[in-house]
């Protein structure tokens, strides 16, 4: 009985607006919306349908006899997205600007269907009440491609990370063998001390202490490796740069030592934290340091020194990190190419390292570039946005008004 | 000059490894000294202390191979045992070609390390004895007069007195006198011994 009444009301409204008096402008809108597969629904201020096109119920899965009220449309949505939908409707009534919301349909199984909705408020002169036009578009394919793209990019980054680990493998073996070596020698010395008639228990106690700390050290190497190898989405968070640089230096120490390369770190502890994924940021630094070290390979004429510097940019919004070497440098005409995918000067190099570095840094809203040093060698710089709270604190410290 | 007691010199940039190696060596009764870098060792002026080097291959600054080259041919040269925490075939080949006693992979087991050190210590002792002998023989050679030295040179090349006399423009009898003096000054009892001494001093080919 009630449903029938609503249906009749809906029929009446529908006839009045759609069938009997379609204006020229509305006809154009209808043609355009059908061609673009857009669902169009106009709601009055109470959320009751004023008119609707044929596409809208198809898009949202409303039944043919279902009146497309705000309430009924909302019921078709995923429950987490209903508030956003209502908020957009209410906001559009007061706003001159269209409001956009991406919402999911409440489907029973499988992948969610995504609908992009645009809410535009307007004032009906006759009724003096604001109506809201809701334009809906199936967004699922776009979302799927976006997710696929993100997944592929993530895989590429991981691939680059795994290949980076391959390059680091010698260093890793070294990093693990050092503490293992110390543990073995300590334990053997301890056994000998205990066999002596004149036992020096104090020394044995010291030995045990060292064994524990060397074991922790080996464990740390494994932990760093596991972190580097971990799959998973990039997670932007607050990252302390000095700490991160130290971690990277610890992973590289042996590799650099075996090449007779010295690493000089000039990173002030007072640096504001940045917003980045710590593992990816490590990856960028590892890549740049590895490249720098390879650039200085086999050149007795170079002082084998890599410098890592960091400073806040003048704006206070970004931190700049630089990796400087004293190798053969980069040809001026190649400065722009080095970040291209598959650009490599190394035999057997994949040419992905720097290209992935750029992808990572750009994703954070930073920038990366290469240069030549006045007295020979290459300079790689990149910027990373400061973590937001830090940004405010910095501005306050500088006396900047909000 | 009093001879200092033999030492094992441990050169490794890793403090934990250094400490553990020192303990192991001391537990085996060796006198050991550790250095954190090649430079520190080279500057320590342990030039004439007998012993051997336990040298880490990969160090920042001067690497193990650099140290080996710096010491080659110098008076401070001693048997070198390389230690390396990473597999690097090319540098191990370089090290062995340049006369390293051994190239051990970390982590190295105590018995193997101590046995290698014992070999290195024996080698050092032997080479020092030879060097001392060489110095002695050279001093004897230096005591020869010009004429005696000429006769010595001919004798060790197996020439007869008659031939030497002809070459030096003198008579056989004079050569015999010089030859007797050479034998006395060189403290050689036979021609065979004289040739041996010349060999030990590195004079003949």
Give tens-digit pLDDT for B138-184. 999 999 999 999 999 999 988 999 999 999 899 999 999 999 999 99
B67 has pLDDT over 90: no
Chains A and B form CB pairs within 8 A to the count of 107
Residue A158 token pair: 């991981």
Question: How many Cα atoms occupy the beta-carbon half-sphere of A67 within 13 Å?
Answer: 21
Its sign, for the CA torsion A199, A200, A205, A207, is negative
What's the CA gap between A194 and A199, in Å, rounded? 6
The whole-number pLDDT of residue A402 equals 36
What's the CA gap between A19 and A122, in Å, rounded? 22
pLDDT tens track for A282-304: 889 988 998 888 888 766 566 78
Which range is least confidently modeled, A170-179, A210-219, B126-135, B179-188?
Answer: A170-179
pLDDT tens track for A166-195: 767 777 787 888 899 999 999 999 998 888
Name the nearest CA neighbour of A93 among A140, A130, A47, A50: A130
The whole-number pLDDT of residue A400 equals 40
Q: Which of A388-392, B86-90, B158-162 has the highest average model confidence (pLDDT)?
A: B158-162
pLDDT tier, A231 (very low <50, low <70, confident <90, very high otherwise): low
What's the CA gap between A257 and A282, in Å, rounded? 19
Using a CB–CB cut-off of 8 Å, the residues of A that contact B are: 170-171, 173-175, 177-186, 188-190, 192-193, 196, 203, 207, 210, 213-214, 217, 254, 256-258, 260-263
Q: Which of A150-154, A171-175, A350-354, A369-373 has the highest average model confidence (pLDDT)?
A: A369-373
Share above pLDDT 90 across residues of chain A, in percent, rounded to a whole number: 24
Question: How many Cα atoms occupy the beta-carbon half-sphere of A71 within 13 Å?
Answer: 4
Name the nearest CA neighbour of A42 among A18, A6, A64, A76: A18
The whole-number pLDDT of residue A188 equals 93
Select from A173, A189, A265 the residue whose CB has the most chain B CBs within 10 Å, as the one to mutate to test that interface. Answer: A189
Residue B56 token pair: 């880490």
What's the CA gap between B178 and B185, in Å, rounded? 10
Instruction: Find out whether B194 and B156 touch, Cβ atoms under 8 Å.
Output: yes
Select from B60, B95, B105, B113 the residue whose CB has the most chain A CBs within 10 Å, as the one to mutate to test that interface. Answer: B60
Which residues in A204-295 belong to E strands, given as ranges?
237-239, 262-266, 274-276
Share above pLDDT 90 across residues of chain B, in percent, rounded to a whole number: 50
Which range is least confidently modeled, A190-194, A221-225, B97-101?
Answer: A221-225
Three-state secondary structure call for residue A337: coil
The whole-number pLDDT of residue B121 equals 94
Name the nearest CA neighbour of B23 among B38, B7, B34: B34
Phi and psi (nearest 5°) for A2? -65, -45
Instruction: Find out whether B6 and B32 touch, Cβ atoms under 8 Å.
Output: no
Element (H, E) at A131: strand A129-138
What's the CA gap between A87 and A102, in Å, rounded? 12
Alpha-carbon distance values, B55 to A262, B75, B93 (Å): 19, 18, 15
Write the DSSP symbol of residue A198. S
The whole-number pLDDT of residue A179 equals 92
Contact list in B for residue A262 (CB cut-off 8 A) is 60-61
**Inter-chain CB proximity A254 and B58 less than 8 Å:** yes
Alpha-carbon distance values, A202 to A367, B23, B25 (Å): 55, 13, 18
Give me the DSSP letters along B53-113: EEEES--SSS-HHHHHHHHTTSTT---EEEEESS--HHHHHHHHHTT-SEEEESSPPHHHH
**Inter-chain CB proximity A185 and B107 less than 8 Å:** yes
More confident residue, B200 or A349: B200
A229 has pLDDT over 80: no
Q: Is the ipTM of this complex over 0.85?
A: no
**Inter-chain CB proximity B19 and A182 less than 8 Å:** yes
Per-residue exposure over A338-348, b if at least 16 CB sit within 10 Å of its own CB, e if not? bbeeebbeeee
- The count of other CB atoms within 10 Å of the CB of residue A301 is 7
Residue B78 Cα, gap to closest chain A Cα (Å): 23
Residue of B23, B83, B86 with shortest CB distance to A173: B86
Contact list in A for residue B61 (CB cut-off 8 A) is 260, 262
**Inter-chain CB proximity A262 and B107 less than 8 Å:** no
What's the CA gap between A85 and A117, in Å, rounded? 8
pLDDT tens track for A243-294: 999 988 887 877 787 777 888 999 999 999 999 988 889 889 988 998 888 8
Which residues in A189-327 belong to E strands, given as ranges?
237-239, 262-266, 274-276, 305-312, 318-324
More confident residue, A391 or A257: A257
The whole-number pLDDT of residue B10 equals 95
Whether residue B26 lies within 8 A of chain A, CB to CB, comes out as yes
Whether residue B37 lies within 8 A of chain A, CB to CB, comes out as no
The three-state DSSP-derived secondary structure of B158-188 is CCCHHHHHHHHCCCHHHHHHHHHHHHHHCCC
Contact list in A for residue B85 (CB cut-off 8 A) is 173-175, 177-178, 181, 254
Contact list in A for residue B108 (CB cut-off 8 A) is 181, 184-185
Whether residue B29 lies within 8 A of chain A, CB to CB, comes out as no
**Inter-chain CB proximity B20 and A171 less than 8 Å:** no
What's the CA gap between B12 and A190, in Å, rounded? 21
Contact list in B for residue A192 (CB cut-off 8 A) is 24, 27-28, 110
More confident residue, B13 or B1: B13
Q: Which of A11-15, A33-37, B52-56 has the highest average model confidence (pLDDT)?
A: B52-56
| Chain B residue with Cα closest to A186 | B20
- The count of other CB atoms within 10 Å of the CB of residue B123 is 15
């Amino acid at each position: 009985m009630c449903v029938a009444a609503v249906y009749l009301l809906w029929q009446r409204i529908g006839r009045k607006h759609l069938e009997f008096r379609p204006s020229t402008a509305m006809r154009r809108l209808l043609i355009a919306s059908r061609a673009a597969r857009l669902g169009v629904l106009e709601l009055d201020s109470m959320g009751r349908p004023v008119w609707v096109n044929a596409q809208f119920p198809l898009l949202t899965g409303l039944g043919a006899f279902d009146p497309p009220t705000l309430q009924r449309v909302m019921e078709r949505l995923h429950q987490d997205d209903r508030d956003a939908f209502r908020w957009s409707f209410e906001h559009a009534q007061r706003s001159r600007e269209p409001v956009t919301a991406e919402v999911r349909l409440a489907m029973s199984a499988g992948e969610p269907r995504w609908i992009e909705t645009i809410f535009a408020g307007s004032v009906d002169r006759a009724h003096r009440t604001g109506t809201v036009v809701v334009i809906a578009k199936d967004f699922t394919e776009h979302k799927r491609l976006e997710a696929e793209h993100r997944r592929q990019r993530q895989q590429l980054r991981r691939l680059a990370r795994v290949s980076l680990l391959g390059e680091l493998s010698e260093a890793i073996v070294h990093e693990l063998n050092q503490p293992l070596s110390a543990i073995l020698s300590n334990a053997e010395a301890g056994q000998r001390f205990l066999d002596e008639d004149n036992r020096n228990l104090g020394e044995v106690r010291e030995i045990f202490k060292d064994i524990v700390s060397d074991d922790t050290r080996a464990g740390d190497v494994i932990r760093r490796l596991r972190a580097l190898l971990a799959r998973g989405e990039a997670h932007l968070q607050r990252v302390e740069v000095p700490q991160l640089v130290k971690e990277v230096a610890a992973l590289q120490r042996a590799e650099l030592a075996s090449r007779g390369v010295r690493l000089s770190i000039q990173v002030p502890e007072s640096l504001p934290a940045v917003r980045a994924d710590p593992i990816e940021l490590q990856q960028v630094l590892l890549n740049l340091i590895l490249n720098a070290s390879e650039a200085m390979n086999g050149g007795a004429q170079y002082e084998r020194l890599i410098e890592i510097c960091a400073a806040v940019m003048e704006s206070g919004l970004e931190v700049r990190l630089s990796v400087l070497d004293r190798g053969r440098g980069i040809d001026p005409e190649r400065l722009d190419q080095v970040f291209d995918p598959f650009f490599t000067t190394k035999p057997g190099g994949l040419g992905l390292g720097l290209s992935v570095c750029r992808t990572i840094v750009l994703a954070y809203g930073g920038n990366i570039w290469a240069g030549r040093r006045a007295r020979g060698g290459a300079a790689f710089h990149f910027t990373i946005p400061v973590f937001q709270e830090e940004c405010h604190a910095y501005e306050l410290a500088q006396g900047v008004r909000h | 000059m009093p001879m200092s007691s033999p030492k094992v010199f441990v050169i490794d940039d890793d403090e934990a490894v250094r400490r553990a190696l020192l303990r192991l060596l001391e537990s085996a009764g060796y006198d050991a000294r550790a250095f954190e870098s090649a430079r520190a060792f080279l500057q320590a002026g342990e030039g004439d202390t007998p012993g051997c080097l336990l040298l880490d291959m990969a160090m920042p600054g001067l690497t193990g191979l650099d140290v080996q080259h710096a010491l080659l041919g110098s008076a401070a040269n001693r048997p070198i045992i390389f230690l390396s925490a990473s597999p690097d075939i090319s540098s191990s080949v370089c090290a062995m070609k340049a006369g390293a006693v051994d190239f051990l992979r970390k982590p190295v087991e105590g018995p193997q390390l101590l046995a290698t050190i014992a070999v290195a210590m024996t080698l050092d002792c032997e080479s020092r004895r030879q060097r001392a002998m060489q110095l002695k023989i050279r001093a004897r050679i230096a005591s020869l007069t010009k004429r005696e030295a000429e006769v010595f040179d001919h004798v060790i090349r197996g020439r007869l007195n008659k031939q030497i006399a002809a070459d030096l423009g003198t008579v056989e009898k004079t050569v015999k006198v010089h030859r007797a003096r050479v034998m006395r000054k060189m403290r050689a009892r036979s021609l065979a011994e004289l040739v041996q001494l010349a060999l030990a001093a590195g004079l003949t080919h």
